[in-house]
Chain A
Amino acid sequence: MATVEPHAARPAKRPSRGAEAGLLVLALAIGIGAYALVGFGLLDEVPEQFVPYSLGLVALAVVGHVVLRIKAPYADQVMLPVVVALNGLGLAMISRLDIGGQLVGSTKEFASRQFMWTALGVVAACAVVWFLKDHRTLRKYSYTAMIVGLVLVMMPLLPGIGQNINGARIWVNIADFSLQPAEFAKIAFAIFFAGYLVTNRDTLALAGPKVLGLQLPRLRDLGPLVIVWGASLAVLIFERDLGTSLLFFGLFVAMLYIATERFSWVVIGLSMFAVGAVVAASVFPHVAARVDVWLHPLDPEIFGRSPGGSGQLVGGMFGLANGGLTGTGWGQGYPRLVPYANSDFIYTSLGEELGLAGLLAILVMYLVLVERGLRTAIGVRDGFGKLLAGGLAFVMAWQLFVVIGGITRIIPLTGLTMPFVAHGGSSLLANWLVIGLLLRISDNARRPSSLPVRGQVAAHAAGPTSGSQPVAVGSRSQEAVDAGEARAAVGPARGGPSQDHPTQVVRTDLPENAEGPMTGATEIIDDTERKNL
């Protein structure tokens, strides 16, 4: 088994992060340029706040970049620029909607608060990178995270701080700030699921009965998960926030699947959801109305219905249609016609003024971001990190799919917001925290000096030149798996397949061999580990 000579073999040369710096310049040009164009489109001059705004955005990007250089030099270099660009585009659109309103006498102003939350988000992400030296520390707090998550989702139901806004009781009001705790609960649940699943994934995957070729889990292994999932869903249905419950559902199913590799989970999850959806549609009139709106938005009867008509959805479609292929240009469309143009429906606002071309570019940016997150999950050594990074990356993609799919009629419309772009402090802060975690994990994943875990120490001790004895096989501990994966994750730096001892089930037909020569080894160890159980 190949082992890695951690420090000696690889010169401790820190990456310059030049790629990130270059991409950040591009991202800032997008964000600041968009803001300037908003001014030119609406006022024919740069907006009043242009200079402080630009300097502020540059400062935030520089802070993020410098913190990463110091504390996470090996972290992914693409994520921060993508997020800065998306955040800048969102700020520009929110400012555009503000200015459009001010031109007709509105005094409403959302952009400066959004900017403040952006700054807070950057600081929060930096704090995660700075103070969280090893993401595995979080594993110790799995059950704490569960409790925190449950408290967060239930907070809006508490009298006094809970607020019912637009029919959904998903807000809490603390010290003059309206927060959506569910955004933060998303992170807490991801941590809990990762911690719980990494410990119990094998029992979940293997110890159940087989029905119709599907490996079913044992109910008692599911206990805590079901409690968390059921409780959060019950509360969310009670809070009438379909979007967030769908979000948690997606997170739950995806992380179970990643942990157990059992497709049966997806089948179980989908059927559970199908049952839930049918029940909800028949029990709750507002859910049934959403389904009507989804299927027949242009039907005159449904369009004119109030409340629960398709006016907003169709208004968004009209906006998108008005944008066409190239868009009207900043400040030239009518995005303010659509209710919640700067939050739930910012996608159609962007689509109207930036066109299909702009939306596809934004979607590709998100896709890059999510795939970098998943790449981080693949690259990281420990199972907890894999699950956490995979879960967080997927939940971002899932959130986008739920919100944009709702707007473009792939699925019924629910109330979620586009990460980094839509107006909303909680969402912005929570997603910056997610980025902070992903950056932290990716730094650990790519750091050549692997973390001093026991397994690795053992491997190192076993033989510095080549592993004569596969350490992982001998150890049944999770850490051993982590160590084995760690080797794989270090990547093609050292060694090759020839150094591996093919004593295990070598799955040479693995499709993911493209990843690198060591990837196969990871699978070997994974399978071996399971076999030995």
Chain B
Amino acid sequence: MNVPLRRVATVVLVMFLALMVSTTYIQFVQADSLNNDPRNSRQVYREYGNFRGPIVVAGESVALSTPVDDPYGYQRSYTNGLLYGHVTGFFSIVNGTSAIERSENDFLNGQASTLWIDRLQGLITGQKPQGASVELTIDPAAQQAAWDALGEQRGAVVAIEPATGKILAMVSKPSYDPNVLATHDTKAASEAYQSLINADGDPLVNRAIAGATYPPGSTFKVVTAAAALESGRYTPETVIPAPDVYQYPNSTAVMRNFGSARCSPDGEQTLADAMRISCNTAFADLGVTLGGDAMRDQAEAFGFDAPLDIPMGVTKSHFPDAETTDDAGQLARASIGQGDVRVTPLQMAMVASAIANGGKQMTPYTVQTIRGADLEVVEQTEPSLLRTSVSPTVAQQLTTMMVGVVENGSAKAARINGVQVAGKTGTAQHQPDAAPHAWFTGFAPTTDPQVAVAVIVENGGDSGSEATGGAVAAPIAKAVMEAVLNK
């Protein structure tokens, strides 16, 4: 029986050689392609196995990781997910990351180069270091006020602290709950993502900074007025033409005022009055008189057509280029915030903020402080001047004009007892048959501005075609400003 036993021994050797070859094939030959296979969750786990740091709003974690018994090790969860969803973004195994979760990822997962001390400590102590915590500038009272005031209406609210650029509130509706995307049940997470992608109103889109930009409507008249004042040829008391009907140059078409109203019985009025009653014909004429270049320069001085990260990427707001504004009709439309002018709500808040801050536009930001796991401050955002939008004098003149809008004009709904509020409404046509977007932008108090705000309610919100910026958007802005001021 020894002959077959020896042969069996040889067969065994061949079997083992086969196992060695097959193992080598997988671990050596195939390894690269397997490691890069999109279904290989190990890359993801390397990321998701980190004890991720929390995202903090006013001392409370709105996003935090907790250890769980599954291969990922940590579950990301969001407190008040709907309210903060667009700010925190989501951290999802199947759908990736967004917003702060994405832009601050290196800090949250502890891999940022500035966190090397934490990592060194982890190496020595063997403890897996927790990622850094990211503290936001969001004021929970303002955020909640914006959320509540916007109600079920589609739209967005942005509030900025003018002196620093801190973003105090950023709400976009409809919103979504990042928890449904962060679940480790990959099937449920995929389905939730698909349903959000397909949902009416694009809840995943943060309207405040991204998505389809809006026509600013009459809120843009602030920019036109600023261009006029900056030219040195105008003061708020300068009398400008304010016809009942504005005849577009080289065209038979005409522009009328809101509700075909008459701005002034004698066809002209002061710049301040034109602003106060939001006279379309006066501003169309003013813009065309100033010229495309002056208008564009002023828009760019407020931040139009410039990239911005807060640190989430912000869609550029746009003022038409020279080729377009050479057409005086286009320039006339642009001067009242129609035509090809497109803005984000953040952009309009930045306009108000710059005026509130004496013409100095501060860089807006959402991340205040980054603390290592030991609570040592790793990074702190210092306010920085982004650009000078207007001179202090012009800022003061614009403020006065905008106070008139709130006190005696179209934005009376934004008045706050005992506080002087500056603002400008807008009721922006965007489609022939659709209800207009209701806008408000402004700030308060005028003496020592604490908050600048921009509100848009899409398609007039609950008021539909009856909506105006003053009736629909101004009360929301008022609620947010009050929330900040009452602190």
Contacts and interface: CB of A to CB of B under 8 A. Distances in A.
B195 interface: no
A314 B1 CA distance: 42
A104 interface: yes
B436 to A, nearest CB: 48
Contacts of A337: 41-42, 45, 71
B23 A523 contact: no
A446 to B, nearest CB: 16
A523 B3 contact: yes
Given A43-B126, A356-B24, A336 B71 contact: yes
Contacts of A103: 67, 73
Interface in B196-238: none
B152 interface: no
A303 interface: yes
A321 B16 CA distance: 20
Interface SS of chain A: helix
- Which size class do B's interface residues fall under? 35 or more
A44 B123 CA distance: 9
A363 B25 CA distance: 15
Interface string A342-364: 00000000010001100110011
A45 to B, nearest CB: 7
Nearest to A519: B2
A387 B4 CA distance: 10
Given A101-B69, A104-B73, A254-B8, A259 B1 contact: yes
Contacts of A405: 15, 18-19, 22
Given A318-B37, A386-B1, A351 B12 contact: no
Contacts of B434: none
B35 interface: yes
Interface stretch (B26-34, B129-137, B422-430): B26-34
B4 A410 contact: no
Contacts of B2: 378, 386, 512, 515, 519, 522-523, 526
Contacts of A287: none
Interface in A468-518: 510-512, 515
Interface string B31-70: 1101101011110011001000000000000000001111
A44 B126 contact: yes
A397 B12 CA distance: 6
Interface residues of A, number: 67
Interface centre among A45, A303, A394 (most CB of B within 10 A): A394
A254 B13 CA distance: 14
B26 A401 contact: no
A397 B10 CA distance: 12
Nearest to A40: B126
A522 B49 CA distance: 63
Given A258-B4, A303-B39, A314-B39, 13 more contacts: A104-B68, A258-B1, A321-B26, A325-B28, A356-B27, A378-B6, A390-B1, A397-B12, A398-B15, A401-B18, A405-B15, A408-B22, A512-B6
CB-based closest 6 A-B pairs: A44-B126, A321-B34, A408-B22, A106-B69, A321-B31, A356-B27
15 contacts: A254-B8, A257-B7, A258-B8, A314-B39, A318-B37, A322-B42, A325-B28, A334-B42, A356-B27, A375-B9, A377-B1, A397-B12, A400-B16, A511-B6, A512-B3
